[in-house]
């Protein structure tokens, strides 16, 4: 069975600080996809990134970067030079090839960026 754990429930930082969100996953499938979503107070889930299990390259997109390590089953997310607009709940999610595209989400990490 697939499982995603986000151990940090809430992180508070001051603007311009870096913040790293941890995500650990469990799966028995060799082909799977990992995601990060942002959920602002409005409630809509905003897609940030998708990685497949065969691509362990780290990725950077502007102030966002992701570190995928299969050896530790982790897919961590870093926001560099945080801004107030980054305040939101961030979810890590997993889908297995064998499970169609049913997403399993972690419990989320609330990020509060103070000015």
Partner 1 sequence: DAGVTQSPTHLIKTRGQQVTLRCSPKSGHDTVSWYQQALGQGPQFIFQYYEEEERQRGNFPDRFSGHQFPNYSSELNVNALLLGDSALYLCASSSPLTGRNEQFFGPGTRLTVL
Least distance to partner 1, CB of residue 81, Å: 27
**Selection from 93, 43, 86, 39 nearest residue 64 by Cα:** 86
User: Binding string to partner 1 for residues 51 to 90, with x set by CB under 8 A, is what?
Assistant: ----------------------------------------
Which of 44, 76, 77, 115: binder of partner 1 (CB under 8 A)? 44
User: Contacting partner 1 (CB under 8 A), which of 3, 18, 30, 50?
Assistant: 50
- The answer for residues whose C-beta is within 8 angstroms of residue 24's C-beta and 6 or more apart is 4, 5, 6, 7, 72, 73, 74
């Amino acid at each position: 069975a697939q499982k995603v754990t986000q151990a940090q429930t809430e992180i508070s930082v001051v603007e311009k600080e870096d913040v790293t969100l941890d995500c650990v996953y469990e799966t028995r499938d060799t082909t799977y996809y990992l995601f990060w979503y942002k959920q602002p107070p409005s409630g809509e889930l905003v897609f940030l990134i998708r990685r497949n299990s065969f691509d362990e390259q780290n990725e950077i997109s502007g102030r966002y970067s992701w570190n995928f390590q299969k050896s530790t089953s982790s897919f961590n997310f870093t926001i560099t030079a945080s801004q107030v607009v980054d305040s939101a709940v961030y979810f890590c999610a997993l889908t297995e090839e064998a499970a169609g595209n049913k997403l399993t989400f972690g419990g989320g990490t609330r990020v509060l960026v103070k000015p």
